[in-house]
Chain A
Amino acid sequence: MRRPVALGATAVVVLALAAAAWAAFAPLPTTSRELTYLIPPGTAARVKAGAPFTVLPSPVHLTLGVRDILVLTNDDEVIHQLGPVILGPRQTYRIPFRQPGRFQYACSLHASGSLTLVIEPAPTAGLARLRWRLEHARPLISLR
């Protein structure tokens, strides 16, 4: 009677430890490191009609090694400017980041007058990576 209970408890503990170890040490997903913001067709017309322009939040957070390529795409028929980036119709600006830092650009679209990019260092194996996974697990769950 006592043996199966002990075995089950051991299995649960082993599984939990293995999951934590995986979360802390397994490399982060790198299938797509791009964070894309899209200006949809008709944006200029909607802004002219009084709709707010909400393509880009500020600050924009990127994490080295995980999501460190910022992609800005203009699918509208007219030129748009996002911070210092001027995009013609159906044009994309793609910028990979390789160093952590905080960049601030003038941007008339934001109430603060500026657009901030925050590039976080890569979550190192161990506690930092475990913490990163826990922080980024929530949006995944809420999507379901």
Chain B
Amino acid sequence: MRGGQRLAVWVFALTWAALVAPAGGAGFRSGAFEPARQAPDFALSASDGTEFRLSGTRGKVILLAFGYTNCPDVCPTVLAELAQVRARLGRDAGRVQVTYVSVDPERDTAARLRAYVQLFDTTFVGLTGSAAQLEPVWKAYGISIVRREIPGRGPQAYAVHHTASVYMVDTDGRLRVMAPFGTPVDDLVHDVRVLLAAGSAQESSIRLDGAWVRRAPAMPDTESNAAAYVTIVNGGRATDTLLSATADVATSVEIHETRNMSGMMMMERVPRIVVPPAARVELKPGGYHLMLIGLKHALGPGQTVTLTLVFERAGPIIARAAVR
């Protein structure tokens, strides 16, 4: 083997080494903020006549864009792309809300804005108001707006040059993404899915079914107790934990478990009940139950007890329990 050939082999080896080098990281495909901070909140009148407050939309991914109804080119493109994003999301589209903030309060009335955004998707919400109401929103999101008159066509003939980025607010109300105009629909869909998946992972969806309380007489001179039963259904994608409970008819409530210790029934206090995702835990006679301690009055059939169960993720959830 001659020197030149040997060198060629080296060149080849180096080339392949460079080829398999990793390129870039995972995560968002469009521009993302790190760490994510709370999105600037605002309240504006929506095109359907209600008030829209950004902080009132937790649990949904908000796609926020800015534009105006007389916009000839950029705005229809953005809205058509956002409609495509929702169409591509299929069933998940219900957890995404597109909101469109006007940059032209002079011409964009609520009615006009509604007719316009609904041309693209009937679920889109247009937001408008006075210039004084809108300016702080534009400023908070870094939207620059330049009005250019169209000469010789009257005072109502003007174009509004504006930033046409799409902002993504996650299910916890944090501003996560700013995708510049021209970001491919594929990338927008990808990033919305990232946000929806993160939202679902944290989401707890606890339902309480068939709550009931065993009747209990009032015991003079001594404390009287009663047992309450309920089925806890976790329909979310995260484990949740029952931490404590209260009842309107008792001074305190403890979580207990009845155990059969070789024929002897033992009742033990347990600190918590863990409910895995997509699972149910039944509180029933002979197993887990809630011990209502220190009843304020006797419990008889026909009465209803209000139970509040406090979960680690889902927080307090109320159940009405019939006395049997």
Contacts and interface: CB of A to CB of B under 8 A. Distances in A.
Interface string A53-74: 0000000000000000100000
Contact of A11 (B4, B18, B142): B4
Contacts of A25: 15
B30 A94 contact: no
Interface string B180-203: 111010010000000000000000
Contacts of B34: 91-94
A97 to B, nearest CB: 9
B18 A84 contact: no
Contact of B163 (A87, A99, A106): A106
Interface residues of B, number: 35
Interface string A94-131: 11101101010110000000000000000000000000
A14 B10 CA distance: 13
B4 A92 contact: no
A interface bracket (residues with beta carbon within 8 Å of B): 20 to 34
Contacts of B24: 30, 33, 69, 96
B143 interface: yes
B50 to A, nearest CB: 28
Contacts of B181: 103
B30 A18 contact: no
B215 interface: no
Contact of A93 (B15, B29, B178, B187): B178
B19 interface: yes
Contact of B32 (A11, A30, A86, A95): A95
B37 interface: yes
Given A92-B34, A94-B32, A103 B178 contact: no
A136 B244 CA distance: 65
A93 B32 contact: yes
B32 A18 contact: no
Interface in B135-187: 140-144, 146, 163, 165, 178, 180-182, 184, 187
B165 A84 contact: yes
Contacts of B29: 96, 98
B163 A105 contact: yes
A84 B18 CA distance: 36
Contact of B144 (A29, A84, A101): A84
Interface in B56-82: none
B211 to A, nearest CB: 46
Contacts of A29: 18
A91 B178 CA distance: 14
Interface string B1-21: 001100110010011001101
A85 B178 CA distance: 8
B220 interface: no
A127 to B, nearest CB: 17
Contacts of A83: 142
B37 A81 contact: no
A59 B94 CA distance: 41
Contacts of B182: 99, 101, 103
B37 A11 contact: no
Nearest to A106: B144
B3 A11 contact: yes
Given A26-B11, A84-B178, A92-B34, 19 more contacts: A15-B7, A22-B11, A26-B14, A26-B18, A29-B18, A30-B23, A69-B24, A84-B180, A85-B142, A93-B33, A93-B34, A94-B34, A95-B30, A95-B180, A96-B29, A98-B29, A99-B182, A99-B184, A103-B181
Smallest CB-CB A-B distances: 7 pairs: A95-B31, A106-B144, A14-B4, A86-B142, A27-B18, A92-B34, A30-B23
12 contacts: A14-B7, A15-B7, A22-B15, A30-B22, A83-B142, A85-B142, A88-B37, A91-B33, A94-B31, A96-B24, A98-B184, A105-B144
